[in-house]
Structure 1
Amino acid sequence: MSRFKLGSRQIGRNCPTYIIAEAGSNHNGDLKTAKELIDVAADAGADAVKFQTFRAENLYIEKSGEVEYIEDDRSIYEIIESMEMPYEWIPELHDYCHDQDIQFMSTPFDKQSARELEDYVPAWKVASYTSSHIPFLEYLAETNKPTIMSTGAHELKEIAESVDALREAGMSDLVLLQCVAAYPTPLSEINVGVVETLQAEFDVLSGLSDHTLDPVTAPTTAVALGASVVEKHFTLDNSMEGPDHEYALEPGELYQMVSAIRDTETALGTGEKHVLEIEEELYEKARRAIHAVSDIDAGEQFTTENMKVLRPGEHETGLDPKFYDEILGATAARDIQKGDGIQWDDLVNYGS
């Protein structure tokens, strides 16, 4: 797979990295906050801002208990229920994103949420914990939208089963994201090299969904390894109430991440090796060549004493150093001044 279109953007190899600013549920149930998150993502230069669309009753067993990583006395079911995004927000947030020139996305966690989102998102984003829900994946594949799927908390063989199911259901435009399901993820555990593993194993575009606290290291490493998509959580303020704010990037850090990714792309260049225009002066003046280091009279032999391999500076450049041994012992066809670059027609029987 090389590339495909996601909304108005081409994503894939030799395309700019598609950057998803993951707002998730950091709107805290407030539409104004959701729009402020869109503003931040657009100002940072992200390609898309992504929310999450779910209903607790379709996500967790009601008496599901607590989870250790969230410091909250409520059950995980109650927490998730409090984070639900109203379906009626979807068209308004989509239109607001359009006005801010950023793509609207939201992760569906159930069929009803997917139906509500279908007319408003350019692609499906599948969360890690949904990536082995094969009946749901098959449902998404039937809509013929591209799919970006995180792979946290899954083994390679499980990912293979999901990829096979998507492809058998007709999915062709697929991106797999390396992800570690830990919030936050220690930098020592992010394992960005899996970006390359996913490409090689499944012949797909790949990327990174990053939960580390560092805004630059893992995302830029992923880009250097060929990531087509980078996703990272952000918030308006880490001190806001809610389970996802603490490990999310603040606005300045999101801007820093986007800038670092674009700088990394610039530094990576095209991969084609040739002499650049900015190198031309030193190409002429600093590449070493064969030059006379003393006056050489016509009929005199070239020796290690009267010629060396030097940088020419302002002098006309001599022959390449690879010809040095060939010239040794040859006879000068004419007088050569100290500093001159030695040319083929300076040698007896070598001139044209």
Structure 2
Amino acid sequence: MSCYIIAEAGSNHCGNRDVAHRLVDVAADAGADAVKFQLFKAEELYPRSAGASDYLGDPRSIYDIIRDLEMPASWLEPLARHCADRGIDFLVSAFDEQSVDAVDPFVASHKIASYEMTHHPLVRHVAAKGKRVLLSTGTASLDEVGAAVDVVRGAGNDDLVLLQCTASYPTPLDQANVRAVRTLADAFGVPAGLSDHTRDPITAPAAAVALGAVVVEKHVTLDNKLPGPDHAFAVEPAELAAMVRAIRATERVLGDGRKVPLPVERELRAFARRTIMTRRPIRAGEVLDRSNVAVLRCGKRQPGLPPAALPAILGRRAARDLPAETGLTDADIAD
């Protein structure tokens, strides 16, 4: 199964509907499987007195920043229609029950952001929709992930994908902890993937796919120099396309895991594998020893017995005259 690649537009539309639609096109042009937006209301996320976020380096209250980035629910239908026209899935992370209800008619899967994972009433509301749940796990312990998994399953929904995520923006490469993709899959018996916040478009996504990730999510922007909380660590259009190519190349490199001779190896398997050959002309009745037989790569000559047969033939006699550089067969050896 191919990895499902999500281009996370998030709030990088900057409150501009045209930019949101351009991000749909960027995701589709790059070959992503889905583009994802966010539907939230500042009043449902933070109190007005929450203050400024140190990591953003913006003196404004986080409440005001979030309020300025709200996406109107009226955008949902035209964005979903645009996605359908471009052959790409439309996804939305909704951050409150009312937003979940607004999003539900337009999506085949629901995404729950990392910070909402412990909001069990919201998780339950999402899971009860009966659609696939993509659950990010940034900042979480394994026990907290397990509690959220229990909520999803308790709502009668077993269609769950857990996403390893480090909630640091950007995430240093050595903090991505991509091996946790396997940990999540093994611990809970569900598919797992990566919601990646590293600046590098290739390394963490490709590593995650090599570890079995079935989903990779990456923030995308038209320009990572734009103002706003999620632009600086997002990939630009060309980088998104490079990421998609790298993921698909990684999938091809991984193969199917069966260890068998491959068609591309056929020529060299015959040409370069060792076989028992005569070193020089050998007369009928002559004793076979290291002076007149050798284990060589036969090239385009007819191969002889495999090297493993050498101990059994040394000391025996040639059944007939043999030319030099000939593959030695059972018929060439006297009983």
TM over 0.5: yes
Matches within 5 A, 1:48-197: 48-197=34-183
How many percent identity over aligned positions?
A: 50
- Give, as a single letter, the amino acid of the residue that structure 2 aligns with 1:45: G
* Per-residue deviation, residues 29-60 of structure 1 (Å, max 9, x unmatched): 11100000011110000000000011111111
- Give, as a single letter, the amino acid of the residue that structure 2 aligns with 1:84: E
Q: 2: distance between equivalents of 1:139 and 1:238?
A: 34
Q: 1: distance between equivalents of 2:322 and 2:149?
A: 71
CA RMSD of aligned residues (A): 0.9
Gaps of 5+ in 1: 1-14
Structure 1 residue 208, shift from structure 2 partner? 0.6
Q: Secondary structure at the match of 2:73?
A: coil
Confirm or deny that 1:281 pairs with 2:263.
Answer: no
- Give, as a single letter, the amino acid of the residue that structure 1 aligns with 2:240: L
Gaps of 5+ in 2: none
Q: 1: distance between equivalents of 2:86 and 2:227?
A: 26
Q: 2: distance between equivalents of 1:335 and 1:119?
A: 84
Alignment match, 2:311: 325
- Give, as a single letter, the amino acid of the residue that structure 1 aligns with 2:318: A
Q: 2: distance between equivalents of 1:63 and 1:224?
A: 44
Alignment match, 2:219: 233
TM-score after normalising by structure 2? 0.98
Q: Secondary structure at the match of 1:163?
A: helix
- Give, as a single letter, the amino acid of the residue that structure 1 aligns with 2:179: G
- Give, as a single letter, the amino acid of the residue that structure 2 aligns with 1:140: V
Alignment match, 2:238: 252
TM-score after normalising by structure 1? 0.94
Alignment match, 1:205: 191
Structure 1 residue 71, shift from structure 2 partner? 2.3
Q: Secondary structure at the match of 1:118?
A: helix
Q: Secondary structure at the match of 1:23?
A: strand
Q: Secondary structure at the match of 2:13?
A: coil
Which structure carries more helix by proportion?
2
Q: 1:223 aligns with which of 193, 204, 209?
A: 209
Q: Secondary structure at the match of 2:46?
A: coil
Q: List, as ranges, runs of 4+ consecutive aligned residues in structure 1 with deviation greater than 4 Å.
A: none
- Give, as a single letter, the amino acid of the residue that structure 2 aligns with 1:252: A
Q: Secondary structure at the match of 1:165?
A: helix
Q: Secondary structure at the match of 1:227?
A: coil
Alignment match, 2:6: 20
Structure 1 residue 125, shift from structure 2 partner? 0.7
- Give, as a single letter, the amino acid of the residue that structure 1 aligns with 2:275: A
- Give, as a single letter, the amino acid of the residue that structure 1 aligns with 2:90: F
- Give, as a single letter, the amino acid of the residue that structure 1 aligns with 2:118: S
Q: 2: distance between equivalents of 1:207 and 1:188?
A: 18
Q: 2: distance between equivalents of 1:104 and 1:165?
A: 25
Q: 2: distance between equivalents of 1:174 and 1:321?
A: 53
Matches within 5 A, 1:265-344: 265-344=251-330
* Per-residue deviation, residues 170-197 of structure 1 (Å, max 9, x unmatched): 1111111110010011111111110111
Q: 2: distance between equivalents of 1:320 and 1:198?
A: 47
Structure 1 residue 314, shift from structure 2 partner? 1.3
- Give, as a single letter, the amino acid of the residue that structure 2 aligns with 1:345: A
Alignment match, 2:24: 38
